[in-house]
């Protein structure tokens, strides 16, 4: 049975001392849905994202993934659920390939602890084709980031490591 939402947050609140960053926020992301989160400085966007990624715990409220309630969400648990964060800063390694950027800081290894290069390349290709709909051979997992235009780099920052990657 497919659940209506991939992520659902109900009545999420978070305070830092006397500052109330979030008050009873309800937020949903559907399957295969792309959501942009916009707001003024200090509106709580970063706080909400840090709760989704397990970096912060909400003071109150409930979080569901695929209809199942998640208690005490942590960063490793969020990653296992497919959650990733794309930060505003341009954080791409220009001298590296696309697949190396995607797995930067969370490299896959084989049962002996060696980097599983083949699997990382394959999963990058899968992400490109299945999740992002790439059909052109102009960009591949082996493409070096410095060869991308500014728009392509921005696209990879916001799409290549989207909040719900299949990796």
Q: For residue range 116-133, list pLDDT tens digits in order.
A: 999 999 998 888 887 777
pLDDT at 155: 63
Boundaries of domain holding 22: 5-80
The model's pLDDT over 26-81, given as tens digits with 9 standing for 90+, comes to 999 998 887 888 888 888 998 999 999 999 999 999 999 999 999 999 999 998 88
Would you state the structure tokens that stand for residue 139, as one six-digit string? 């960009």
Phi-psi category of 101—alpha, beta or left, where left has phi over 0 and alpha has psi -120 to 50? alpha
Q: Are 85 and 129 in contact (CB under 8 A)?
A: no
Specify if 70 maps to a domain: yes
Specify if 15 maps to a domain: yes
70 and 106 belong to one structural domain: no
pLDDT band, residue 160 (cuts 50/70/90):
very low
Specify if 93 maps to a domain: no
User: What CATH number is attached to the domain comprising 13?
Assistant: 3.40.50.300
Task: Give dist(CA 4, CA 146) in Å, integer.
Answer: 39
73 and 14 belong to one structural domain: yes
Q: Would you say residue 20 has pLDDT above 70? A: yes
Query: What is residue 42's DSSP assignment?
Result: T
- State the total domains in the chain: 2
pLDDT at 137: 76
21, 54, 80: which is the final residue of a domain?
Answer: 80
80, 110, 127: which is the final residue of a domain?
Answer: 80
Task: Give dist(CA 64, CA 78) in Å, integer.
Answer: 11
**pTM, to two decimals:** 0.58
Specify if 9 maps to a domain: yes
Average pLDDT estimate for 89-98: 76
């Amino acid at each position: 049975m497919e659940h209506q939402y991939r992520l659902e947050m109900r009545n999420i609140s978070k305070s830092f001392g006397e500052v109330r960053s979030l008050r009873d926020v309800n937020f949903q992301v559907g399957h295969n849905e792309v959501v942009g989160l916009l707001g003024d400085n200090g509106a709580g966007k970063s706080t909400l994202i840090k709760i989704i990624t397990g970096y912060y715990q909400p003071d109150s409220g409930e979080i569901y993934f695929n209809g199942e309630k998640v208690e005490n969400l942590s960063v490793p648990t969020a990653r296992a659920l497919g959650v990733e964060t794309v930060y505003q800063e341009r954080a791409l390694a220009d001298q590296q390939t696309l697949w190396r950027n995607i797995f930067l800081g969370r490299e896959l290894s084989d049962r002996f602890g060696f980097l599983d290069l083949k699997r990382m390349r394959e999963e990058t290709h899968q992400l490109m084709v299945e999740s992002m709909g790439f059909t052109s051979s102009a960009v591949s997992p082996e493409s070096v980031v410095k060869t991308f235009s500014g728009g392509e780099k921005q696209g990879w920052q916001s799409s290549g490591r989207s909040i719900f990657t299949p990796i």
